[in-house]
């Protein structure tokens, strides 16, 4: 069996995946808080861990991998958005959860084995908190239940911080119901106009961190193989998950994985900079889901990723070339599997695919989530002979270099561009790439 090696955020080392139950793998990944569309930063985590899911299924068999990705459907942001729009919270979360599924499926993301919603596990969360209080790792005060951070000696080991350093540099809430500023909320009171459930501490709702611990424990048991999420969750979310789960006596996750963040054209994504966009924004603008996924996979998950227009164009060009050369196949080349097994090195896997064609290329495209056995509609040129147009444009350019009259060249370029064809001219020649809005009908009379 293929040996899979993964970077463990907890040990900060590459480790061999050794499943707790031989031949079977369990994985939990923190999913979205559903109150709006997923932006492309959210999409990176979805694509990264989908790729790991696909690798695990390839190596261990589809029936031997259990993948859990939750929906957080109780949260202050959700409450605020529902109030702002005058909608029922349940209607908002149902709609936005479906948006998430629709948008990520368009990127080739498979549905996980389980997709639990936080509101379905309130009873388990209450029981979890009661156990922590009984063990003196948590306490109740003024309708709240809080975790005693200093009671857990290993707090900070996942993120590599000391409690004192955290207090000095962290944004911690100083509240009268806290014994210590670092203590974090497990349960909090709910006003009459927001969701709440009965508990030993009064009507309220869970804190964010307890949700994942309770759902992971309920579905995967006390110990499981892999826990994943974005690097922004390392602290405090994952640190708090470790503390409360281990304090309760659960071994929790053996390997922790975190994907790095995403930028746009070299800058942090921000609405104020005008470079913030959702997956749906890209899809609706004509960028195919396969192209978005390719760009995501072209950078190793452990490195910051930069979304650029140049990468989008190159990804589309490469995929068109591959789709033209691929045939359906099941035998994924060893070099591609080896790259993925080497800490999910998707960049290297894509590099190996440039050497392939036929059934080998088709099998590799499938395991990368880039092909379902037939060429996507957007990549079909509908019989347009773009090579003939490239030759005409090349000849026109050569003549124009002699006569200094570029009117014919400009007219051809304009017509091709209007038809949705990207025109690339260099010393090496003319390259015509059909874009997402390619309309071959506009070339019929050219």
CATH of residue 26: 3.40.50.620
pLDDT at 161: 83
Assess whether pLDDT exceeds 90 at residue 382.
Answer: no
Assess whether pLDDT exceeds 80 at residue 385.
Answer: no
Q: How far is CA 384 from CA 388, 418, 439, in A?
A: 9, 15, 9
**Rounded distance between C-alpha atoms, residue 34 and residue 29, angstroms:** 15
Average pLDDT over residues 220-224: 97
pLDDT per position as a tens digit, 254-284: 999 999 999 999 988 887 787 889 999 999 9
Most distant CA pair in the chain, distance: 90
pLDDT at 63: 97
Distance of CA 114 to the CA centre of its chain: 16
Whether 10 maps to a domain, the answer reads yes
Confidence of residue 436 (pLDDT cuts 50, 70, 90): low
Assess whether pLDDT exceeds 80 at residue 228.
Answer: yes
219 with 149, same domain: the answer is yes
Whether 266 maps to a domain, the answer reads no
Tokens of 158: 């996942």
Tokens of 308: 């650029």
Confidence of residue 172 (pLDDT cuts 50, 70, 90): low
Yes or no: say if 191 and 205 are a contact pair by the CB < 8 Å rule. no
**Residue at a domain's end among 259, 275, 305:** 259
pTM here? 0.86
Which comes out higher in pLDDT, residue 433 or 94?
A: 94
Assess whether pLDDT exceeds 60 at residue 169.
Answer: no
Q: 3-state secondary structure string, 376-391?
A: CHHHCCCCCCHHHHHH
Tokens of 198: 């009965």
**Residue at a domain's end among 239, 259, 279:** 259
323 with 433, same domain: the answer is no
432 with 411, same domain: the answer is yes
Q: Which residues contact 189 (CB under 8 A, 6 or more apart)?
A: 142, 143, 144, 196, 202, 203, 204
What are phi and psi for residue 154, nearest 5 degrees?
A: -90, 10
Q: What is the mean pLDDT of the chain?
A: 93
306 with 222, same domain: the answer is no
Whether 24 maps to a domain, the answer reads yes
373 with 395, same domain: the answer is no
88 with 130, same domain: the answer is yes
Whether 272 maps to a domain, the answer reads no
**Element (DSSP H or E) covering residue 207:** none
94 with 11, same domain: the answer is yes
Domain around 358: 287-379
Tokens of 438: 């390619």
401 with 369, same domain: the answer is no
Calculated CA dihedral for residues 173, 175, 178, 179, nearest 10 degrees: 100
241 with 298, same domain: the answer is no
Across 10-19, 171-180, 240-249, least confident range: 171-180
81 with 136, same domain: the answer is yes
Assess whether pLDDT exceeds 90 at residue 37.
Answer: yes
Torsion sign, CA atoms 311, 315, 317, 318: positive
222 with 250, same domain: the answer is yes
Confidence of residue 89 (pLDDT cuts 50, 70, 90): very high
Yes or no: say if 217 and 121 are a contact pair by the CB < 8 Å rule. no
Q: What whole-number percentage of the chain has pLDDT above 90?
A: 82
**What is the number of structural domains in the chain?**
3
Whether 204 maps to a domain, the answer reads yes
Average pLDDT over residues 3-29: 98
Whether 40 maps to a domain, the answer reads yes
**Residue at a domain's end among 379, 405, 424:** 379
For β-strands 421-426 and 429-434, DSSP reports them as antiparallel
175 with 291, same domain: the answer is no
Whether 265 maps to a domain, the answer reads no
Whether 165 maps to a domain, the answer reads yes
Give burial (CB, 10 Å; 0-12/13-18/19+) of 330.
exposed
**Rounded distance between C-alpha atoms, residue 241 and residue 42, angstroms:** 20
């Amino acid at each position: 069996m293929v040996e899979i090696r993964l970077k463990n955020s907890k040990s900060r080392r590459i480790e061999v995946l050794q499943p707790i139950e031989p031949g079977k793998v369990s994985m939990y990944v923190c999913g979205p808080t559903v109150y709006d569309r997923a932006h492309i930063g959210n999409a990176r985590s979805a694509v990264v861990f989908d790729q790991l899911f696909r690798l695990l299924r390839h190596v261990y068999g589809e029936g031997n991998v259990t993948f859990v990705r939750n929906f957080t459907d109780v949260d202050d942001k959700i409450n605020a958005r529902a109030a702002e729009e005058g909608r029922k919270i349940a209607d908002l979360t149902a709609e936005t959860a479906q948006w998430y599924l629709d948008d990520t499926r368009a990127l080739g993301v498979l549905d996980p084995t389980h997709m639990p919603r936080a509101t379905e596990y309130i009873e388990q969360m209450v029981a979890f908190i009661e156990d922590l209080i009984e063990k003196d790792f948590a306490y109740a005060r003024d309708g709240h239940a809080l975790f005693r951070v200093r009671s857990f000696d290993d707090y900070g080991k996942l993120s590599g911080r000391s409690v004192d350093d955290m207090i000095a540099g962290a944004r911690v809430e100083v509240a009268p119901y806290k014994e210590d500023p670092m203590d974090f909320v497990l349960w909090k009171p709910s006003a009459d106009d927001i969701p709440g459930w009965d508990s030993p501490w009064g009507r309220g709702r869970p804190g964010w961190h307890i949700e994942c611990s309770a759902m992971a424990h309920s579905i995967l048991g006390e110990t499981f193989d892999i826990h994943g999420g974005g690097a922004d969750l390392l602290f405090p979310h994952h640190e708090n998950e470790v503390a409360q789960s281990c304090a309760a006596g659960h071994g929790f996750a053996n390997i922790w994985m975190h994907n790095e963040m995403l930028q746009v054209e070299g800058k942090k994504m921000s609405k104020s900079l005008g470079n913030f966009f959702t997956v749906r924004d890209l899809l609706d603008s004509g960028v195919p889901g396969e192209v978005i996924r390719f760009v995501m996979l072209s950078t190793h998950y452990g490195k910051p990723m930069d979304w650029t227009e140049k990468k989008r164009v190159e990804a589309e060009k490469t995929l068109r070339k591959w789709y033209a050369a691929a045939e359906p196949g099941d035998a994924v080349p060893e070099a591609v599997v080896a790259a993925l097994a080497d800490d999910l090195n998707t960049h290297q896997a894509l590099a190996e695919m440039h050497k392939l064609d036929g059934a080998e290329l088709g099998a590799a495209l499938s395991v990368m989530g880039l092909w379902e056995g037939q060429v996507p509609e957007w990549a079909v040129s509908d019989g347009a002979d773009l090579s003939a147009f490239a030759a005409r444009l090349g000849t026109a350019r050569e003549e124009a270099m002699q006569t200094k009259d570029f009117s014919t060249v400009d007219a051809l370029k304009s017509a091709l561009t209007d038809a949705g064809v990207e025109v690339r001219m260099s010393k090496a020649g003319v390259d015509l790439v059909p874009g997402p809005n390619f309309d071959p009908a506009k070339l019929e009379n050219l």
